[in-house]
Structure 1
Amino acid sequence: MSFLTAKWTNLALINYKIDAKILEKYVPNGTELDFWDNKCYISLVGFMFEDVKLLGLKIPLHTNFEEVNLRFYVKRFEEGKWKRGVVFIKEIVPKLALKIVANTVFKENYETLPMKHKMIENENTFNFTYEWKKEQKWHSIALETEKKLIKIEENSEAQFITEHYFGYTKVNHTKTFEYEVKHPIWKQYNVLNSKIDVDFKATYGDEFAFMKDLIPTSIILAKGSKVSVENKIKIK
């Protein structure tokens, strides 16, 4: 049985090129940084968790909620092939129980903060907004998109960002957790406008304060799908 099943919907992915050296200390043992077109990426991601079940059971008041995370990309070579995955710097959710379970079971870095979201359908466009409150300020990701779903092209930056099917957690310098995230290939909405109002220093600490001055290399709104999280193992 899958550890977790859910729907991930309306994923706003704001992608930045950064110096790989900044991420080296966060890379889990047994993995290495994954690059696209010789560029190292970090992504700010906001999306909806819906119809959440743990071990097949719904947890009251914890079935639908927002998440915002900061993540980067790694790969692991095993049995003659590469596994491509993500590592989270931090994951923000509005429910304390989610933080306790994720930090205890998966050794992730979850934080609980007040959050809210909006999805507005207009005649020709959608508007998506994700917000979280930290240090008395509401931070936000806001995107306007076309309404037509389009394919994510093969060998594109968008495919690189959306098709990493493993998660890796650095427990310590020698131990890594690996888990598999299963979902179909996603489609996307064309992004017309965006507004990123985030104090990266307040949200992610001094080390990531520099991101306030970065211009995203791309901004994606993926429709999402049903997902499952399973096959957690420990790598030494």
Structure 2
Amino acid sequence: MMKKKYKFMTCNWENLIYLNFHMDPELLAPFLPKDTEPDLLNGKAVISIVCFEFSNARLFGFKIPFHQYFPEINIRTYVKKKDNGNIKGIYFLSEMVPKFMTYFTGKFIYGEPFSLRKLKISKTEKDLKYFIKDSGCEMEIEAGKKNMHSDRELTEEEEFVIERSLAFCGKASQNARMYEVKHQKWNLVESSNFNFTIKKIRHISSDIQNVLLDKKPESIFMTDGSGVEVYKDLFI
């Protein structure tokens, strides 16, 4: 049998805000697929809360009715294969959306950790705010945009978080499945006035909750985003 890649989704991810926290990798490891391990930055695992605008979605080339624009917030970490440390990517711990079909398809068809949340976005030309308030989760994340692009070089942490082309999914008792995520190079957005409050995230493990609720992020930044193509392997 041989693998052949097929494109199963296209969409836009734009106006991304990243809050990045550091965590003891030994506490994170039990929540990862069994054939992966934390990819470390200076000896620490990194957990990111990432907010973005999701739009223009097509599944196998077809538009998804009533799901062409909405905000999403995910909580993710960074992993590598145990048998090949050069294979690195993102692993999603939580994917929060306000649209039922996205939640249903992601959770029950693709096995991703989606949850249906009362998630909204408020934006002007210069300000952007994502917020959730329901029984299971409560957070607000806000940023002011000074300029659409920043010319400065990426820091080590920014490059570690942004430059990822693979996504892993699967439960801790399983081997991971991999998806390839293709997009043009994302640019830093010159930003200011980052504000956030995180009061509860009850649908993730207590060890990870404690990091996100009790610690300050090591870094916060924005990128512009772009069109995205998502590929999966097909055995033929």
Choose which of 3, 15, 24 in structure 2 pairs with 1:19: 24
Which deviates the most, 34-43 or 88-97? 34-43
Choose which of 116, 123, 133 in structure 1 pairs with 2:120: 116
Matching residue's letter, 1:59: I
Identity, % of aligned positions: 27
Partner of 2:187: 187
For residues 29 and 233 of structure 1, do their structure 2 counterparts lie closer, same or farther at Cα, with a shift above 3 Å needed? Answer: farther
Contact 1:99 1:111 in 2 (8 A): yes
Shift of 1:151: 4.3
Matching residue's letter, 2:214: D
* Runs (5+) with no aligned partner, structure 2: 1-5
Partner of 1:156: 156
Shift of 1:152: 6.5
2 CA distance for matches of 1:112 and 1:137? 10
Counterpart of 1:51 in 2: which secondary structure?
A: strand
Shift of 1:171: 3.4
Choose which of 5, 10, 14 in structure 2 pairs with 1:5: 10
Partner of 2:3: none
2 CA distance for matches of 1:82 and 1:228? 22
For 1:144-223, what aligned pairs fall within 5 Å after superposition?
144-151=144-151, 153=153, 156-202=156-202, 204=204, 206-210=206-210, 211-223=212-224
Is 1:50 paired with 2:55?
yes
| Total equivalences in the alignment | 229
1:75-117 CA distance string (max 9 Å, x none):
2377x77122111111100111111111123211100112210
Is 1:72 paired with 2:77?
yes
* Aligned-CA RMSD value: 2.3
Shift of 1:149: 0.3
Shift of 1:164: 1.3
1 CA distance for matches of 2:151 and 2:105? 35
* Runs (5+) with no aligned partner, structure 1: none
Structure possessing the higher relative contact order (Cα contacts under 8 Å, 6 or more residues apart): 2
Contact 1:106 1:177 in 2 (8 A): no
Partner of 2:229: 228
Matching residue's letter, 1:56: G
Matching residue's letter, 1:29: K
Contact 1:91 1:111 in 2 (8 A): yes
Matching residue's letter, 2:117: L
1 CA distance for matches of 2:120 and 2:63? 21
